[in-house]
């Protein structure tokens, strides 16, 4: 399947391998990575900055980010290799299950995705709202929560989480404002609930289980594409069962089957956004899951966190910026003025990467791929982006280690695929749902409710006065 899909886009494979080569040459011989990570001995000592910078909240085998050397891998597989040789279907299976699927597993997984892409109930609910007037991420969050209703018995008493699983997850197990001791046993015991009744006619009987993760990976693209259509006053398209994940997404958004190149470009973009450590949206999804809420609420929270301009919302703003700059000739003055005003330029900088983001190393060349025959507006956009990158990096690299991040070139790539800027951040969510679900599933194996502390800097011993005395 991959080989067939990739045959017609060998130039894209070459482009990715060249980007990998360039990364290796620039980074030099990278510090040798350990073959496996080591488990921590809890409680763990680490330096923590504001925004939980440096904090280690859990252990994970899902993915690895090394911000110093610019490395990213999913389950031990280098991101460049996955983009060059794999597909989003394989990568999402890998993230969830920890290994690349064999042919039978892949076929079974693809069949599940095909089944779950069809979501009449969710789309019917979605269409009863004025989606065309809504922010696309707000609509996506709503649509994701509607997907819960595909489970007919999700809110029944019998479907509520079994709290016997919550032993070791109660926040009162340690004094609220005391030094964490790493204590792992909760003080409450919960009565074991009666075994949940399984519905014979549906696999969707557990709103936090693996099937729900498949449902979200398959369904969030259907909702996203429906939103793209409804925003233009058009009816959603039904997914086509003979198309791949990326091709279906493209088809449901644009109403035509993509060319092999378009399909591959979108597939690579999906792979690149699938997971990225304990970023804000992943953490948000995990916090919600840790309260024993279900995975739909959890992914809904991930979508909400992703929306912000400091996170996934930056991709849409990059395009606004490029249009604001206007042309390569304006770049120098524009950057000087922005930096003088201490403005943060969308698409640059990262909490973790203090070098070139490996995802931007692929998205940059993808944005420029075969651009000679493009419309003048697109050529101008690409050229402005290149000049802006050079100017920002040369101004901020030495002092602040600011480089393009994943959001910098993704908007140009999506624009070339004919996608409306309002849909850029929802597309990020379409892909990241694999990482969110994989990390939530992993964390729930050994759940402990998230509950950091705040350093209290307020007043003590205030004297209460009645309202007429204040
Ligand atoms: N443009 C200009 N200067 C920047 C930028 C930027 N994009 N990013 C950081 N800096 C500067 C800051 O002004 C700060 O300078 P100072 O020390 O003189 O005050 C310094 O670099 C450190 O920046 P922080 O904001 O403290 O870094 P933090 O780790 O908190 O934030 C973040 C990282 C939010 C990504 C930041 O770089 C940013 O706002 N970038 C623009 C938005 C963006 O592209 N977000 C997408 C990130 S990728 C993702 O989430 C998928």
Average pLDDT, integer, range 287-307: 96
Atom 22 of ligand 1, nearest CA residue? 400
Contacts 24+ apart (CB under 8 A), 319-323: 319/381, 319/411, 319/412, 319/415, 319/421, 319/424, 320/346, 320/421, 321/345, 321/346, 321/347, 321/388, 322/381, 322/384, 322/385, 322/388, 322/411, 322/412, 323/381
- Ligand 1: atom nearest CA of 276 is 51
Average pLDDT, integer, range 197-220: 74
Pocket residue to mutate for ligand 1, from 53, 306, 344, 356, most atoms within 8 A of Cβ: 344
Report the pLDDT value the prediction gives residue 217, as an integer from 0 to 100: 98
Residue 366 · residue 15 · CB < 8 Å? yes
Q: Is the pLDDT of residue 89 over 50?
A: yes
Q: Which percentage of the chain shows pLDDT scores above 70?
A: 87
Average pLDDT, integer, range 42-68: 93
Report the pLDDT value the prediction gives residue 203, as an integer from 0 to 100: 45
Average pLDDT, integer, range 156-165: 65
Pocket residue to mutate for ligand 1, from 349, 352, 404, 405, most atoms within 8 A of Cβ: 349
- Give residue 274's pLDDT band: very low, low, confident or very high (50, 70, 90): very high
Q: Is the pLDDT of residue 201 over 60?
A: no
- Ligand 1: atom nearest CA of 405 is 48
Q: Which percentage of the chain shows pLDDT scores above 90?
A: 79
Atom 17 of ligand 1, nearest CA residue? 400
As to burial, measured by CB atoms within 10 angstroms (0-12 exposed, 13-18 middle, 19+ buried), residue 4 is exposed
- Give residue 103's pLDDT band: very low, low, confident or very high (50, 70, 90): very high
Report the pLDDT value the prediction gives residue 159, as an integer from 0 to 100: 66
Helix (H), strand (E) at residue 368: helix 358-368
Cα(403) to centroid(ligand 1), Å: 10
How far apart (Å, rounded) are the C-alpha atoms in residues 91 and 299? Answer: 18
Residue 447 · residue 288 · CB < 8 Å? no
Q: Which residues line ligand 1 (CB under 6 A)?
A: 279, 310-312, 314, 344-351, 396, 400, 402, 405-407
Residue 401 · residue 355 · CB < 8 Å? yes
- Ligand 1: atom nearest CA of 338 is 2
Report the pLDDT value the prediction gives residue 372, as an integer from 0 to 100: 82
Q: Is the pLDDT of residue 29 over 60?
A: no
Cα(356) to centroid(ligand 1), Å: 14
**For the ranges 159-173, 198-212, 251-265, 346-360, which has the lowest average pLDDT?**
159-173
Report the pLDDT value the prediction gives residue 174, as an integer from 0 to 100: 40
Atom 24 of ligand 1, nearest CA residue? 351
Residue spans of beta strands (DSSP E) within 309-465: none
Residue with more model confidence, 22 or 159: 22
**What is the pTM (predicted TM-score) of this model?**
0.90
Residue 423 · residue 228 · CB < 8 Å? yes
- Give residue 377's pLDDT band: very low, low, confident or very high (50, 70, 90): very high
3-state helix, strand, coil in the chain (%, to 5): 55, 5, 40
Cα(33) to centroid(ligand 1), Å: 27
Report the pLDDT value the prediction gives residue 164, as an integer from 0 to 100: 59
Q: Is the pLDDT of residue 15 over 90?
A: yes
Q: Which CATH class is domain 315-416?
A: mainly alpha
Cα(140) to centroid(ligand 1), Å: 26
3-state secondary structure of 77: strand
Task: Kindly list the catalytic residues.
Answer: 350, 407
Atom 12 of ligand 1, nearest CA residue? 344
Average pLDDT, integer, range 65-92: 96
Report the pLDDT value the prediction gives residue 366, as an integer from 0 to 100: 97
- Average pLDDT along the chain: 89
Cα(281) to centroid(ligand 1), Å: 17
Chain Cα centroid distance, residue 380: 29
pLDDT digits (tens, 9 = 90+) for 417-427: 999 999 999 99
Taking each helix axis from N to C end, the angle separating 245-254 and 210-231, rounded to the nearest 10 degrees, works out to 30
Report the pLDDT value the prediction gives residue 276, as an integer from 0 to 100: 98
Report the pLDDT value the prediction gives residue 22, as an integer from 0 to 100: 95
Residue 372 · residue 15 · CB < 8 Å? no
Atom 20 of ligand 1, nearest CA residue? 400
Atom 30 of ligand 1, nearest CA residue? 351
What residues does each domain of the chain span? 315-416
Copy the structure tokens of residue 1.
Answer: 């399947």
- Give residue 192's pLDDT band: very low, low, confident or very high (50, 70, 90): very low
Report the pLDDT value the prediction gives residue 399, as an integer from 0 to 100: 83
Report the pLDDT value the prediction gives residue 175, as an integer from 0 to 100: 38
Q: Is the pLDDT of residue 79 over 70?
A: yes
Cα(412) to centroid(ligand 1), Å: 21
Q: Is the pLDDT of residue 327 over 90?
A: yes
Residue 278, phi then psi, degrees to nearest 5: -90, 55
């Amino acid at each position: 399947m991959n080989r067939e899909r990739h045959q017609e886009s060998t130039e894209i494979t070459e482009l990715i391998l060249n980007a990998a080569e360039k990364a290796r040459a620039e980074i030099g011989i990278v510090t040798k990575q350990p073959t496996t990570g080591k488990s921590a001995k809890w409680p763990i000592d680490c330096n923590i900055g504001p925004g939980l910078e440096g904090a280690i909240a859990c252990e994970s085998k899902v993915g690895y980010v090394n911000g110093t050397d610019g490395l990213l891998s999913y389950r031990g597989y280098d991101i460049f290799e996955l983009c060059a040789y794999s597909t989003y279907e394989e990568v999402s299976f890998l993230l969830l299950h920890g290994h690349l699927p064999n042919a039978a597993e892949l076929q079974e997984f693809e069949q599940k995705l095909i089944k779950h892409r069809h979501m009449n109930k969710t789309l019917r609910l979605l269409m009863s709202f004025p989606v065309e007037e809504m922010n696309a991420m707000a609509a996506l969050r709503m649509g994701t929560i509607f997907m819960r209703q595909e489970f007919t018995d999700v809110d029944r008493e019998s479907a509520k989480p079994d709290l016997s699983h919550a032993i070791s997850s109660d926040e009162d197990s340690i004094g609220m404002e005391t030094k964490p001791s790493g204590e792992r046993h909760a003080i409450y015991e919960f009565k074991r609930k009666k075994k949940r009744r399984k519905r014979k006619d549906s696999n969707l009987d557990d709103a936090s289980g693996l099937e729900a993760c498949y449902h979200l990976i398959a369904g969030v693209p259907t909702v996203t594409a429906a939103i793209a259509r409804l925003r233009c006053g058009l009816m959603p398209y039904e997914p086509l069962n003979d198309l791949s994940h990326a091709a279906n997404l493209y088809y449901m958004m644009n109403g035509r089957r993509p060319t092999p190149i378009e399909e591959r470009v979108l597939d690579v973009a999906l792979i690149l956004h699938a997971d990225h450590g304990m970023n804000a949206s992943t953490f948000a999804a995990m916090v919600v899951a840790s309260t024993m809420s279900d995975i739909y609420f959890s992914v809904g929270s991930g979508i909400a966190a992703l929306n912000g301009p400091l996170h996934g919302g930056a991709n849409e703003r990059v395009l606004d910026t490029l249009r604001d700059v206007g042309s390569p000739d304006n770049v120098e003055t524009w950057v000087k003025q922005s930096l003088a005003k201490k403005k943060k330029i969308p698409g640059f900088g990262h909490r973790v990467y203090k070098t070139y983001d490996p995802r931007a190393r692929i998205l940059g060349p993808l944005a420029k791929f075969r651009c000679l025959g493009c419309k003048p507006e697109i050529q101008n956009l690409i050229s402005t982006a290149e000049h802006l990158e050079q100017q920002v990096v040369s101004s901020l690299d030495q002092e602040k280690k600011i480089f393009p991040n994943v959001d910098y070139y993704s908007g140009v790539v999506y624009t070339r695929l004919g996608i409306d800027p309002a849909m850029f951040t929802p597309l990020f969510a379409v892909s990241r749902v694999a990482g969110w679900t994989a990390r939530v599933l992993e964390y729930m194996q050994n759940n402990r409710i998230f509950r950091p502390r705040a350093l209290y800097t307020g007043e003590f011993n205030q004297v209460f006065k009645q309202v007429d005395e204040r």
